[in-house]
Amino acid sequence: MFGDKEKQLVYIGSDHAGFKMKEQLHKHLQEAGFDATDLGTFTEDSCDYPDIAREVSEKVKEHEGSLGILMCGTGIGMSMAANKMRGIRAAMVTDENMAEMSRKHNNANVLCMGARISTPEMIVKMTDKFLATTFDSEERHARRVQKIDEL
Ligand code: RB5
């Protein structure tokens, strides 16, 4: 999908509730050829999801064109935290259609999922769909996303 010189940059993170799934997903992304960086958490010890959301969001903001993936128990806390960061459009999704549309229409740059909500199989499918889809940059979508960014 991506040539060696332009591997898609992906930053991934989770709290303790998403830790095991994050490990699995990070391995999947590396095997699929993405330039995927794991920003923690690195153990199953309890931690605070806003800290990880901030780490991943800061990297996505810093590296134009990069994408983020965040997991917590529900995906809700991660999406709330990431969406506080200017320039971050985080989408909390529970199926493949939502993952696809979040890229196509909303130009989401961070994918949030719930490790206690979605099955591992679905999480992999949603991630693959998100990463394989680009923004449908028709004027009306671009205008709406611009309005989000100006809020
Ligand atoms: C942790 O127990 C849980 O609250 C967290 O993972 C997440 O689901 C918050 O939105």
| For the CA of 78, the nearest atom of ligand 1 | 10
Ligand 1 pocket check: which of 78, 83, 112, 118 to mutate, most ligand atoms within 8 Å of Cβ?
78
Q: What is the pLDDT of residue 5?
A: 52
Residue nearest to atom 10 of ligand 1 (CA): 77
pLDDT per position as a tens digit, 4-35? 557 999 999 999 999 999 999 999 999 999 99
Whether residue 117 is contained in a domain is answered as: yes
pLDDT per position as a tens digit, 49-105? 999 999 999 999 999 999 999 999 999 999 999 999 999 999 999 999 999 999 999
Residue 128 alpha carbon to ligand 1 centre in Å: 23
Active centre residues (catalytic): 72, 105
On whether the pTM is more than 0.75, the answer is yes
Q: What's the domain range around 42?
A: 9-150
Which CATH number does the domain housing residue 113 bear? 3.40.1400.10
List ligand 1's pocket residues with C-beta within 6 A. 15, 17, 49, 72-74, 76-77
Q: Which residues of 27-57 are buried (b: 16+ CB within 10 A; e: fewer)?
A: ebbeebebebbbbbbeeeeebebbebbbbbb
Whether residue 3 is contained in a domain is answered as: no
Whether residue 4 is contained in a domain is answered as: no
Residue-wise DSSP of 27-72: HHHHHTT-EEEE----SSS---HHHHHHHHHHHHHHSTT-EEEEEE
Domains held by the chain: number: 1
Burial of 25 (0-12, 13-18, 19+ CB in 10 A): buried
pLDDT per position as a tens digit, 117-146? 999 999 999 999 999 999 998 999 999 999
